[in-house]
Amino acid sequence: MKIRLTTLLVFMSSFLFAGQADGWEYLFNGKDLSGWKQLNGKAKYEVVNGVIVGTTVANTPNSFLTTEKDYGDFILEVELKVDDRMNSGIQFRSLSKADYNNGRVHGYQCEVDPSARAWSGGIYDEARRGWLYPCTFNPEGGKAFRNGEWNLYRIECVGNDMRTFLNGKPVAHLIDDMTPKGFIALQVHSINKADQAGRQIKWRNVRIKTKDVKLTLMDDVFVVNMLPNQLSETEKKQGFELLFDGQTTNGWESASADQFPDKGWVVKDGELVILSKNEVAKRPGDIVTTEKFKAFDFQFEFKLTKAANSGIKYRTGNNGPSIGLEYQILDDANHPDANQGAVGNRKMASLYDLIPSETEGRFVKPVGQWNRGRLVVYPDNRVEHWLNGVKVVEYTIDSNIFRALVARSKYSEYKDFGLVEESPILLQDHQDEVHFRSLKIRKL
């Protein structure tokens, strides 16, 4: 037994020294929890056989074993193995302040999700904004998680750029500037039932590099860019271009004229805003891009005022400049149109009056907060509506189902509704105040 223990200690010492020699620093010494402290919940953290073990405890909130130091730019690697019946995460650039929710830990979290959902490696904003990068954007990345085995997580942060990897595969690429620096923490999630107590997650080989940090290329991975009206170098390489520069109305005009409306639509604080009927009695009308698009990936952010109604229209033109397919933008809680139509097909992110969106309440931001929309029209006429990282509508233009839906809708009187090959993208004036920003598109 003594020989085995001595051999283990020699191996660990050489391993730690080798890590430090190439710029890595080990945050866990393999013996005790020096350099760490526990915050919030009362889950059990201990060192067993050179491994940190976290154990769920009933009647306590999320628990976090946090580093005593803060880190800004770094590469973090950690191996973990988790009970497949529990959820966990790795906090990074996270904070705990007395004036924020009574000291609750908040900040970026790299997800540990052994469930069938398979969102491991995605990025969640703990106790703040919720999901920023669910693995819906990169399903193959999350599938790299191996239940019942050790998994290698890698998190890279340089400036506003954050990238995650799972067992060598790229998962998430997030660009955000809310928290440039903070601690790292190992989470034991709270549990809902007493019989869930005793489940465990284990961590080992927790190491960090903070000097000469370079990002790993992820050019083919979907980018979530939270910086308003900006394109990252990766997005540019992927073919995205801005449709709104945050300062001017260049690239836009009235849907019914060859110039931009002289009132009603304004650019303010980096936002393109349609004013309400209470501010502008004479309506400016819808606006459209000066360029036409056929197949595309269009991303946009929008913020509603109470009871506001608007929409993104596409495949317009053969029945008038403002008649076409519509991604519905609506305050479902306060606008009466949410209860009109059939089976909710006029609610937020629906294909208006045709197909209801399959939204989950937690993925819809309330009035006054920014929602992130996405509209994808593929070359083969498949269409997707997305809302805050979740695909909520999927259909095919000119399919039998599509034609049947149109025939029973308010658009039944329009010949070949939605069958235009290409058209501008339209922002709707529905007499309510709605804000838009970060309008970006790539042709497919």
HSE-CB at 25 with a 13 A cutoff on CA atoms is 11
CA distance linking residue 55 with residue 236, whole number of Å: 45
Q: pLDDT tens digits for 111-152?
A: 999 999 999 999 999 999 999 999 999 999 999 999 999 999
Note whether residue 214 is domain-resident.
no
Query: Residues 364-377: what's their mean pLDDT?
Result: 97
Q: Kindly state whether residues 41 and 188 are assigned to the same domain.
A: yes
CA distance linking residue 224 with residue 372, whole number of Å: 10
Confidence at residue 21, expressed as pLDDT on a 0 to 100 scale = 60
Query: Residues 401-411: what's their mean pLDDT?
Result: 97
Q: What single-letter amino acid sits at 334? A: N
Q: Is the pLDDT of residue 182 over 90?
A: yes
Q: Kindly state whether residues 299 and 335 are assigned to the same domain.
A: yes
Where among 146, 179, 209 does a domain terminate? 209
Note whether residue 358 is domain-resident.
yes
CA distance linking residue 329 with residue 357, whole number of Å: 11
Q: What single-letter amino acid sits at 410? A: K
Q: Kindly state whether residues 98 and 159 are assigned to the same domain.
A: yes
Determine the 3-state secondary structure of 80 from DSSP: strand
Find residue 123's DSSP bridge partners.
110, 133
Q: Kindly state whether residues 152 and 238 are assigned to the same domain.
A: no
Note whether residue 220 is domain-resident.
no
Note whether residue 180 is domain-resident.
yes
Q: Kindly state whether residues 282 and 181 are assigned to the same domain.
A: no
Q: Kindly state whether residues 203 and 234 are assigned to the same domain.
A: no
Which of the four pLDDT bands, split at 50, 70 and 90, describes residue 25?
very high
Q: Is the pLDDT of residue 12 over 60?
A: no
Q: Kindly state whether residues 157 and 298 are assigned to the same domain.
A: no
Confidence at residue 290, expressed as pLDDT on a 0 to 100 scale = 98
Confidence at residue 359, expressed as pLDDT on a 0 to 100 scale = 83
Torsion angle of the four alpha carbons 393, 129, 167, 239, in this order, in degrees rounded to the nearest 10: 60
Which of the four pLDDT bands, split at 50, 70 and 90, describes residue 391?
very high
Determine the 3-state secondary structure of 59 from DSSP: coil
Note whether residue 11 is domain-resident.
yes
On the 0-12 / 13-18 / 19+ scale of CB atoms within 10 A, 29 is: middle
Question: In terms of DSSP bridges, do strands 151-158 and 309-314 run parallel, antiparallel, or are they unpaired?
Answer: unpaired
Q: Kindly state whether residues 334 and 299 are assigned to the same domain.
A: yes
CA distance linking residue 271 with residue 269, whole number of Å: 5
CA distance linking residue 346 with residue 310, whole number of Å: 11
Determine the 3-state secondary structure of 205 from DSSP: strand
Query: To the nearest whole number, what is the mean pLDDT of the chain?
Result: 94
Q: Is the pLDDT of residue 9 over 50?
A: no
Please state, as a whole number, how many other Cβ atoms lie within 10 Å of the Cβ of residue 320: 11
Q: pLDDT tens digits for 281-309?
A: 999 999 999 999 999 999 999 999 999 99
Residue for token digits 């009235």?
Answer: 254
Note whether residue 162 is domain-resident.
yes
Which of the four pLDDT bands, split at 50, 70 and 90, describes residue 20?
low
Q: Kindly state whether residues 58 and 160 are assigned to the same domain.
A: yes
Q: Which of 68-77, 131-140, 322-331, 358-367 is predicted least confidently?
A: 358-367
Where among 139, 174, 209 does a domain terminate? 209
CA distance linking residue 315 with residue 354, whole number of Å: 15
Q: Is the pLDDT of residue 155 over 60?
A: yes
Note whether residue 308 is domain-resident.
yes
Q: Tally the domains of the chain.
A: 2
Q: Is the pLDDT of residue 260 over 60?
A: yes
Q: Kindly state whether residues 247 and 205 are assigned to the same domain.
A: no
Cβ contact 91:216 at 8 Å: no
Which of the four pLDDT bands, split at 50, 70 and 90, describes residue 99?
very high
Where among 182, 209, 236 does a domain terminate? 209
Query: Residues 145-173: what's their mean pLDDT?
Result: 98
Contacts of 268 (CB under 8 A, 6+ apart): none
> What separation, in Å, do the N-terminal and C-terminal C-alpha atoms of the chain show?
63
Closest-CA residue to 301 (of 310, 314, 290): 310
Whichever domain contains 344, its CATH number is: 2.60.120.560
Residue 370, domain extent: 228-443
Note whether residue 21 is domain-resident.
yes
Q: Kindly state whether residues 125 and 248 are assigned to the same domain.
A: no
Q: Kindly state whether residues 202 and 350 are assigned to the same domain.
A: no
